[in-house]
Every structure is written in C-alpha cells, then in structure tokens.
Amino acid sequence: MHAVSTSLPGLFGARSTARPDFAEVAEASLDRVYRYLLYLTRDASLAEDLTGETFERALRSWRRYDPRRGEPIGWLCRIARSAALDRFRADERRRARERRYASDAGEVAEEPFVEGLSPELECALAGLSAADREVIVLRVVLELDAAETALLLGISATACTTRLNRALQRLEDRMESNALA
C-alpha cells in the first residue's frame, strides 16, 4: 500500500476523523470548486460569484462538517451545487415576474428612473437588466449599505458588491457605446 502525498493529509486521500482547518480546506479546494461551478454554469462571472457564496456558506456551517461522512471537496461541491440551484431558481422567478409585469404593463409610458438624469444616462439605465437597475437603485440612489442591500436581495454582501460593480461597468459600457453611436 502506498501513501498519497498531498500538502494536506486526509483532505483528498484516506478518510480521517480529525477535522482539518477550514482555511487549509478552502485554499486546497478553491480552484476545484470554481472549476465545478464553471462547468455547471458555463459563465465565469457567475461561477466566481457562486464560489464566493459557497465558501461563505461553508464557513458558516463548518462546525457541522463531519469528516467521517466524506471528504471536504465533496461537502463543498454539495454546497456549491445547492448555491447554484438556488441562484437558477431565483433567476427563473425573477424572469417570470419580469414577463408577468411586462405583459401587465402593456404600453404604459415609462417613468424616469430618477428625476434630473440626462437623457443619455436614462437611456443607458433603461437598457440594463432589472437586476442591474435594482442593485444600482438600492446602493446608489437609495444609498443603502452593502449589508442592507444584500439582505434585501437575499445574497451575501460580497455578492452584492460584485453585482453592483458589474452593473456599473455595464452602465458605463452602455454610456460609451451610446456616445459613439
């Protein structure tokens, strides 16, 4: 019988009953969990968001991890899959609400996003998804902090900040493309 050499004995080799340190498990598993989520979602930015959410959930429930029931990577992948399915379901519910709202709204004249905005900015905001507009409204217009916004959106504060940064980047890109047109 030969031993498997890893930097963390028991992490990916023979099962151990000793609980490994979470930081060591996270460091050893980060790339594998990300690759799993990338394969599952086929979207690098979504996989990044879900990887962060996975490790946040894992840290919160680390005391419930039982090394006798399986390797840390399996446990982390179960958490990652759950996070991905939760996101897919939430996105589907959001799209259903948007479709329902769009069919109910009909040809109603759209209110300005925020009073006093330039027509160019208003046009760029209108071109964003509802999720992007929502996070911008909560963080920029209503000036809620990341924790409050995250709680309202049902995501982590880190995911909220990432979502805001990406929404603002898309807004900037739209502004630039509209200026060039």
Other CB atoms within 10 Å distance of the CB of residue 6: 11
- Let me know how long the chain is: 181
User: Within this chain, do residues 15 and 97 fall inside the same structural domain, yes or no?
Assistant: yes
User: What residues contact 106, with CB distance under 8 A and at least 6 apart?
Assistant: none
User: Within this chain, do residues 159 and 97 fall inside the same structural domain, yes or no?
Assistant: no
Sign of the Cα pseudo-torsion (87, 91, 96, 97, in order) = positive
User: For the segment 27-53, what is each residue's pLDDT rounded down to a tens digit?
Assistant: 999 999 999 998 888 899 999 999 999
Mean pLDDT, all residues of the chain: 81
Of the candidates 166, 108, 167, 94, the one whose C-alpha atom is nearest the C-alpha of residue 133 is: 167
Q: What pLDDT does 51 receive?
A: 96
Residue 119 has pLDDT above 50, yes or no: yes
Q: Which range (33-47, 100-114, 155-169) has the least confidence?
A: 100-114
| Domain that residue 168 falls in | 112-181
Q: What pLDDT does 17 receive?
A: 64
User: Within this chain, do residues 62 and 78 fall inside the same structural domain, yes or no?
Assistant: yes
The residue among 56, 76, 108 that closes a domain is 108
User: Within this chain, do residues 27 and 68 fall inside the same structural domain, yes or no?
Assistant: yes
Query: Can you tell me the distance from the alpha carbon of 130 to that of 134, in angstroms, rounded to the nearest whole number?
Result: 6
